[in-house]
Amino acid sequence: MIWQNTGFYSKPVKNENAVHSMEHGAVWITYRPDLPKDQVEKIKSLTQKRCVLASPYPGLPAPVVASAWGKQLKLDSANDPRLEQFVIDYSQGPQTPEPGAPCRGGVGSPE
């Protein structure tokens, strides 16, 4: 299985590719498709630094969900400061099963 290139996607990505990216140290930020545009832009800005993948995900239990290998944070808003802190703490963090593995060069092209 190949990993998903990190970056921002406006359409859902395959779960198995995104999970493989988390194995490489990526934080996967998923958001409800109807999330307000300003919050989507906030998420998009977080994909421009570190090893972060973002995509819409219908049926989420919260408007925004940040996931890393073995970690998850459910948020009511992308403007919650805990989202950026989660990215800082877990993007290629100590929980990464394959430290040093690439975040880019997998499948898909970010927008």
CATH number reported for the structural domain that contains residue 45 in this entry: 3.40.30
Helices (H), 26-96: 37-46, 81-90
How much is the pTM?
0.94
**Dihedral over Cα of 95, 97, 103, 106: its sign:** negative
Q: pLDDT, tens digit, for every residue of 34-58?
A: 999 999 999 999 999 789 999 999 9
Residue 51 included in any domain = yes
* Number of H-type helices and E-type strands within the chain: 3, 5
Q: Per-residue confidence at 106, pLDDT binned at 50, 70, 90?
A: confident
pLDDT tens digits, residue range 57-85? 999 999 999 999 999 999 999 999 999 99
State residue 37's pLDDT score.
98
Query: With 80 as the cut, is the pLDDT of residue 111 above it?
Result: no
Q: Does residue 82 sit within a domain?
A: yes
Q: Which residues are CB-contacts of 100 (< 8 A; sequence separation ≥ 6)?
A: none
Cα–Cα distance between 30 and 12 in angstroms, integer?
9
Indicate whether 105 belongs to any domain: no
In the chain, % of residues over pLDDT 70? 98
Q: Is residue 43 part of a domain?
A: yes
Where is 21: in which H helix or E strand? Answer: helix 15-23
Buried b (16+ CB within 10 A) or exposed e, 15-37: eebbbbbbebbbbbbbbbeebee
CA gyration radius for the chain?
A: 12
Let me know if residue 39 belongs to a domain: yes
